[in-house]
């Protein structure tokens, strides 16, 4: 499964990352930011993937503007 990482600028396109690559990056960091273009279903599948591997996962929406569509997902994955 591919997920879209949060954009670095408003005009940029989101970069994608595979679940396996995300799992490899857990050695270096535990907080990831995902773009609003990801479906809720995809994010739930990612959470279930890591919970099955005995990780604790916490996800929330982070608003960065006043518009309803100005948000990203913040995900904490903890061993």
Output the pTM of the full model: 0.90
DSSP the chain: -EEEBPPSSTTSPPPEEEHHHHHHHTTT-SEEEE-TTS-HHHHHHHHHHHHHTT-EEEEEEEE-SSSTT-EEEEEEEE-
pLDDT band at 73 (very low <50, low <70, confident <90, very high): very high
pLDDT per residue over 14-55, tens digit each? 999 999 999 999 999 999 999 999 999 999 999 999 999 999
Domain layout of the chain by residue ranges: 2-78
For residue 65, the model assigns a pLDDT of 87
In this predicted structure, the answer to whether residue 79 has a pLDDT above a threshold of 90 is: no
* Residue 24 near residue 7 (C-beta atoms within 8 A): no
């Amino acid at each position: 499964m591919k997920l879209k990482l949060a954009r670095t600028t408003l005009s940029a396109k989101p970069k994608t990352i595979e679940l396996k690559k995300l799992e490899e990056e857990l050695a270096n960091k535990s907080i990831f930011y995902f773009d609003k273009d990801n479906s809720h279903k995809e994010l739930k599948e990612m959470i279930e993937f890591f919970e099955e591997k005995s990780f604790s996962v916490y996800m929330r929406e982070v608003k960065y503007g006043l518009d309803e569509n100005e948000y990203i997902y913040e995900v904490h994955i903890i061993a």
